[in-house]
């Protein structure tokens, strides 16, 4: 177990929230972060507007005018990866903490993340506990196992290690800004990032729910000798929207997770059939055999069965018909000691939000 180190009041660091057309959520997150930043005069909050067409730009301008610890920037290229790359390029200080715009930090969140990052020089990434903020009644079929896909989970230890592919969720993710961050925003990824959600559910089969940006970022740090940790020193609440209270959302999520596991294996240079994926691939005939009788299970068990079946199908589809991308670079040693920004060339730089 690592020993927590007191956070200096004058520590220089940044918090980043990436957002797109979700002003109501964003206002709640910004207010909670700025409240905790009062204890850290050299900390600042950066909001990256990823192309909002609602009243988000006007809201950001008003907050910027009223708070010296707040800044905002625009990233016109849509996608969470590109918004995060902009945040890394704009960040100041040794540490950067990502927070989703639909998350609300609990008291002590900021101090807990920074404590863990400061606890040892080889701590590179820190995630935390995630509690639900229900926006509707929790259905009886929504088991704790399914809820981890929202994600919702409680970290039991102050320093639980994360390992591929089970890394902390990006809803709240603190990183040490160093050569690993520079590699993450390098040209090999920025040209056409192979992970992340594409489109919306209205696009039907063209909608790609696959994420993976968090795994990719954590994997860079892990391969360069840094520890990736979950900590119970910090916690955030996460909005559970009405969409996530429908069975269809979980079936899409699990199917996408099957695709993601195979895609991540290829992108990280692992063989697609490995110790992590073999269970999904081998499980398909078992689930297919039992599928005619799974309706006899209790509703929660029946939906979980369907979700695992969808995950196996997604994995096989990606294995047989998915793209064959080359492995991404993960060795950041050649960049050691170099600053992580800017995130883009002058011709690709987002304009500051005014």
Q: What is the pLDDT of residue 336?
A: 80
Interval 140-152 mean pLDDT: 94
Distances 1 to 153, 159, 243, 270, 349 between C-alpha atoms, Å = 21, 6, 39, 30, 42
Q: What is the pLDDT of residue 341?
A: 58
Span 318-328, pLDDT tens digits = 999 998 989 99
Owning domain of residue 112: 13-246+327-348
Which distant-in-sequence residues (6+ apart) come within 8 Å of 285 by Cβ? none
Interval 160-180 mean pLDDT: 96
Q: What is the pLDDT of residue 27?
A: 98
Tell me, yes or no, if the pTM score tops 0.85: yes
In a domain, 30, yes or no: yes
Quick check: 274 pLDDT over 80? yes
Distance CA 151, CA 132 (A): 8
Quick check: 351 pLDDT over 50? no
Distance CA 191, CA 299 (A): 44
Span 293-329, pLDDT tens digits = 988 899 999 999 999 999 999 999 999 999 898 999 9
In a domain, 234, yes or no: yes
> How many folded domains does the chain comprise?
1
Q: What is the pLDDT of residue 343?
A: 45
Min mean pLDDT across 81-85, 192-196, 235-239 is at 192-196
309: helix, strand or coil:
helix
Q: What is the pLDDT of residue 151?
A: 94
Interval 186-198 mean pLDDT: 90
Interval 127-146 mean pLDDT: 96
Please report which confidence band the pLDDT of residue 354 belongs to, taking 50, 70 and 90 as the band edges. Answer: very low
Q: What is the CATH number of the domain that holds 145?
A: 3.90.550.10
In a domain, 260, yes or no: no
Distance CA 182, CA 168 (A): 20
Q: What is the pLDDT of residue 346?
A: 32
Q: What is the pLDDT of residue 3?
A: 56
Which residues does residue 161 pair with via DSSP β-bridges, in sequence order? 229
Distances 198 to 78, 214, 228, 256 between C-alpha atoms, Å = 9, 16, 27, 12
Would you say 323 and 195 are in contact if contact means Cβ atoms under 8 Å apart? no
Q: What is the pLDDT of residue 197?
A: 80
Q: What is the pLDDT of residue 208?
A: 63
Would you say 333 and 178 are in contact if contact means Cβ atoms under 8 Å apart? no
Q: What is the pLDDT of residue 4?
A: 59
- Is it true that the peptide bond before 165 is cis, omega within 30 degrees of 0? yes
Average pLDDT in the chain: 91
In a domain, 60, yes or no: yes
In a domain, 205, yes or no: yes
Distance CA 160, CA 231 (A): 6
In a domain, 219, yes or no: yes
In a domain, 53, yes or no: yes
Length of the chain: 354
Quick check: 70 pLDDT over 60? yes
Q: What is the pLDDT of residue 344?
A: 41
99: helix, strand or coil:
strand
Interval 271-295 mean pLDDT: 93
In a domain, 28, yes or no: yes
Q: What is the pLDDT of residue 205?
A: 56
Please report which confidence band the pLDDT of residue 348 belongs to, taking 50, 70 and 90 as the band edges. Answer: very low
Quick check: 353 pLDDT over 50? no
Quick check: 352 pLDDT over 80? no
């Amino acid at each position: 177990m690592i020993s927590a180190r007191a956070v200096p009041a004058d520590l220089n660091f940044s918090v980043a929230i990436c957002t797109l057309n979700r002003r109501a959520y964003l206002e709640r997150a910004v207010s909670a972060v700025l409240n905790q930043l009062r204890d850290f005069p050299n900390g600042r909050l950066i909001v990256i507007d990823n192309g909002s067409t609602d009243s988000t730009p006007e809201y950001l301008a008003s907050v910027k005018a009223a708070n010296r610890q707040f800044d905002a920037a625009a990233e016109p290229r849509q996608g969470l990866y590109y918004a995060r790359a902009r945040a890394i390029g704009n960040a100041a200080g040794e540490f950067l903490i990502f927070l989703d715009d639909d998350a609300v930090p609990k008291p002590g969140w900021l101090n807990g993340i920074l404590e863990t990052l400061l606890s040892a020089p080889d701590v590179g990434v820190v995630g935390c506990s995630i509690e639900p903020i229900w926006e509707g009644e929790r259905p009886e079929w929504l088991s704790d196992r399914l809820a981890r896909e929202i994600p919702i989970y409680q970290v039991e230890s102050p320093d639980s290690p994360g390992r591929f592919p089970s890394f902390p969720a990006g809803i709240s993710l603190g990183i040490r800004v160093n050569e690993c961050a520079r590699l993450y925003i390098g040209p090999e990824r920025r040209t056409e990032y192979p992970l992340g959600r594409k489109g919306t559910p209205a696009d039907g089969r063209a909608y790609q729910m696959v994420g993976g940006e968090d795994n990719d970022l954590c994997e860079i740090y892990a391969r360069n000798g840094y520890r990736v940790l979950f900590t119970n020193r910090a916690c955030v609440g996460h909005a559970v929207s009405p969409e996530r209270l429908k069975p269809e959302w979980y079936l899409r999520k699990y199917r996408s997770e099957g695709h993601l596991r195979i895609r991540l294996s290829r992108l990280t240079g692992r063989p697609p059939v490995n110790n992590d994926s073999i269970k999904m691939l081998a499980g398909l005939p078992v689930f297919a055999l039992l599928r005619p009788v799974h309706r006899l299970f209790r509703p929660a068990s029946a939906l979980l069965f369907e979700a695992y079946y969808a995950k196996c199908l997604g994995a096989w589809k990606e294995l047989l018909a998915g793209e064959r991308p080359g492995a991404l670079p993960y060795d950041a040693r050649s960049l050691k000691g170099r600053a992580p920004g800017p995130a883009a060339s002058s011709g690709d730089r987002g304009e500051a939000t005014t």
